[in-house]
A and B are shown apart, each in its own frame.
Chain A
Amino acid sequence: MTPVLYRVRSRRPDRVDTVTLTLEPVRGDCPPFLPGQFTMLYAPGVGEIPVSISGRSRSGGYAQTIRAVGAVSAALCGKRPGEVVGVRGPYGHGWGVPAAAGLDVVVAAGGLGIAPLRPVVRALLAARDRYGRISVIAGARSPATLVYPRELARWARQGADVQVIVDHPDHAWHGPVGLVTRLIDRIVFEPRRTHAFVCGPEAMMRATAEELVRRGVAPGRVELSLERNMKCAVVRCGHCQFGPLFVCEDGPVLRYDQAGPMLAVAEL
Chain B
Amino acid sequence: MDAVVIESLEPLIAELRSRGFAVVGPVVRDGAIRFEEIASAGRLPRGVTDDQDPGRYRLRETGDEMIFSFAASPDSAKRYTQPPRQVLFRMRGERIEEAEEEAPRIALLGVRACDLAAIGVQDRVFLGGRHPDPAYRLRREALLLIAVNCAVPGGTCFCVSMGTGPRVTAGHDLALTELAAPHRFLVEIGSERGEEIVRALPYAPAPARDLADAEEVSRTAAGRMGRHVETEGIQERLSAHDSPRWQQVGARCLTCANCTMVCPTCFCTTVEDSTSLADGTAERAERWDSCFTLGFSEVNGTPVRSSNPGRYRQWLTHKFSTWIDQFGMSGCVGCGRCITWCPVGIDVTEELANLP
Contact = CB atoms under 8 A, between A and B. Distances in A.
B130 interface: yes
A267 B310 contact: yes
A239 B129 CA distance: 17
B131 A231 contact: no
Given A70-B300, A239-B268, A267-B307, A249 B273 contact: no
Contact of A235 (B96, B130, B321): B130
Nearest to B271: A231
Most chain B CB within 10 A, of A3, A229, A231, A241, is at A241
Interface residues of A, number: 36
Nearest to A47: B273
A81 interface: no
B227 interface: no
A44 interface: yes
B274 interface: yes
B307 A70 contact: no
A227 interface: yes
B218 to A, nearest CB: 34
A12 interface: no
Nearest to A43: B273
Contacts of A232: 269, 271
Interface residues of B, number: 46
Contact of A48 (B94, B125, B273, B301): B273
B270 A231 contact: yes
Contacts of B98: 2
Nearest to B275: A45
Contact of A228 (B304, B306, B318): B304
A237 B269 contact: yes
A214 interface: no
A100 interface: no
Interface string A223-251: 00001110110111111010111100100
Interface of B is mostly: mixed
A267 B314 CA distance: 9
Interface in B300-318: 300-301, 304-307, 309-311, 313-314, 318
A238 B289 CA distance: 9
Interface in B85-119: 88-89, 91, 94, 96, 98
Given A47-B273, A239-B268, A267-B304, A234 B94 contact: no
B270 A239 contact: yes
A266 interface: yes
B267 interface: yes
A1 interface: yes
A268 B267 CA distance: 19
A238 B268 contact: yes
Given A229-B296, A238-B269, 7 more contacts: A47-B271, A236-B131, A239-B270, A241-B318, A244-B321, A245-B326, A268-B304
23 contacts: A2-B89, A3-B96, A46-B273, A47-B271, A48-B271, A48-B273, A69-B301, A70-B300, A227-B299, A231-B270, A231-B289, A234-B131, A236-B131, A237-B269, A238-B267, A238-B269, A239-B268, A241-B322, A243-B322, A245-B326, A267-B305, A267-B306, A268-B314
Interface of A: 1-3, 5, 26, 42, 44-48, 69-70, 84, 86, 227-229, 231-232, 234-239, 241, 243-246, 249, 265-268
